[in-house]
Amino acid sequence: QVQLVESGGGLVQPGGSLRLSCAASGSIFSIDAMAWYRQAPGKEREVVAAITSGGSTNYADSVKGRFTISREHAKNTMYMQMNSLKPEDTAVYYCNAEGRTGWAAPMDYYWGQGTQVTVSS
């Protein structure tokens, strides 16, 4: 199994910044794409940003220019720098990864438990 652990959430004022981290551990053979999702109260989970194993990135329109996703392959860790935060960014942020536990194992999808981000004055 692969475990994903997020960290870095918290309470920040509008206009502030936070950096989220997602560390993968366990029986990792390879990790392909990784992504950050978020879910606000009463809303569906939505993708925020994604990064391929080659480093290509994509962002939701609502965070373009404010959030930056990155990853360190050697540490099996993904990050998201969030700047100019707005109250509407308030949500639980989840890490997602697709990976294999062995060379012949099927690709599977893994989720972290989430970290709360609250943007409020």
For 53-112, write each residue's pLDDT tens digit.
Answer: 999 999 999 999 999 999 999 999 999 999 999 999 999 999 999 999 888 999 999 999
Mean pLDDT, the chain, rounded, equals 95
Instruction: Tell me if 60 sits within 8 A of 40, measured CB to CB.
Output: no
For the residues 19-28, what does the mean pLDDT come to? 93
> Tokens representing 112?
């972290």
Contact 38, 46 (CB under 8 A): yes
- Tell me the mean pLDDT in the region 9-36: 95
**Pairing status of strand 46-51 against strand 108-111:** unpaired
pLDDT of 29 higher than 90: no
Closest CA to 92 of 118, 64, 71: 118
What average pLDDT score do residues 42-63 get?
A: 97
Q: How many residues does the chain have?
A: 121
109-120: b (≥16 Cβ within 10 Å) or e: ebebebbebebe
* Residue 59 DSSP SS3: strand
| 70 or 28, greater pLDDT | 70
Q: pLDDT at position 47, please?
A: 98
